[in-house]
A = this chain, B = another copy of it.
């Protein structure tokens, strides 16, 4: 990303979001996005490979926020605790309540287009892979690293969906804490019944 033109990428992104929302994603061209803020098509393509990427710009910064959030976790923290510490930091730094309206607009555009939904899915999968690799770098085994990364992304994605609802008042960080509590309750209940199962089978023998 070019650094010598500060703010241009952000202006183009904001313009893209507005045009996608008002005219529709398919109906908007990169040229129109550029022209709406007095820039040329050529400038647009210096910043983004295509119009779709104007919606997904910032993935690297998001990944970096996850990684530095993980660095902030205590040295003795368990794998999923490390991921939850990172989630809290990402929620606070990247998704403060002032951003909620903008995130809602973006999500509505993505929800209406299958290719954009696939791209979003790919983004989350890539994020999970990055988080799992960072956990392994901290010495976490492959299986717990994969489970903690995927479970963290599940908490993140479902919490994010709740945060975007019109009637939702809680911060993303608070929603994530509540969703994690729900997940740990579900897991504990299923673990108890798995143990019951084994015991019943042993009694039957």
Binding site for B on A (CB under 8 A): 77-81, 84, 118, 121-122, 125, 143-144, 146-148, 150-151, 154, 157-158, 162, 177, 179-184, 186-191, 193-194
Contact = CB atoms under 8 A, between A and B. Distances in A.
B81 A190 contact: yes
A10 B13 CA distance: 48
Contacts of A189: 78, 80-81
A148 B183 CA distance: 8
Contact of A186 (B80, B177, B179): B80
Provide the main secondary structure of the chain A interface: helix
Given A193-B81, A194-B84, A186 B154 contact: no
A183 B190 CA distance: 11
Contact of A147 (B81, B125, B186): B186
Contacts of A184: 187-188, 190-191
Contact of A158 (B121, B143, B179): B143
Contact of A78 (B143, B157, B190): B190
Given A121-B122, A121-B125, A122-B118, A182 B147 contact: yes
Given A121-B125, A184-B191, A186-B80, A150 B146 contact: no
B181 A194 contact: yes
Contacts of A121: 121-122, 125
Q: Which 6 A-B pairs have the closest CB atoms?
A: A80-B190, A184-B191, A78-B189, A150-B154, A187-B187, A81-B190
Given A191-B184, A194-B84, A194-B177, A147 B154 contact: yes
A52 to B, nearest CB: 14
Contacts of A187: 80, 151, 183-184, 187-188
Contacts of A158: 143, 146-147, 150
